[in-house]
Amino acid sequence: MPQEIDKVTGLPKDLLDFGDITKESQKIRIRALQARFGKVVTVVSGFEDWEEAKRLGKEMKKKLACGGTVKGNEIVLQGRHTPKVKGILLAEGYREELIDA
């Protein structure tokens, strides 16, 4: 099976996976906020890519068994999940020094 070649760089597309590089440089902020009617939500912000935020939001909702949404480049989860969210981000390859919890 022939490799796909990138038209801009002329390199094989396998070599151009920049996903891990962006994960290592993004500053992610996790905070718990008081929402309406005394409810608590966990907000995870700092993602550069909306697609990545959407994928991670879906995974976090499944792993944490909670509801939530993705607004812009922020993930909003129902409930207080700050330490668990940090663990999920570390497992995904984000650097601990750049996660502000």
Average pLDDT over residues 70-94: 93
91 SS3 class = helix
pLDDT: which is higher, 10 or 77: 77
Query: Would you say how long the chain is, in residues?
Result: 101
Q: Do residues 62 and 84 make contact, with C-beta atoms less than 8 angstroms apart?
A: no
pLDDT, tens digit, for every residue of 20-78?
556 667 899 999 999 889 999 999 999 888 888 999 999 999 999 999 999 988 999 99
DSSP 101: -
pLDDT: which is higher, 2 or 85: 85
Instruction: Output the pLDDT for position 31.
Output: 95
Q: Where are the domains of the chain?
A: 13-100
Instruction: Output the pLDDT for position 70.
Output: 95
pLDDT at 19 over 70: no
Q: Do residues 44 and 77 make contact, with C-beta atoms less than 8 angstroms apart?
A: yes
Nearest CA to 73 out of 38, 44, 95 is that of 44
Class of CATH domain 13-100: alpha beta
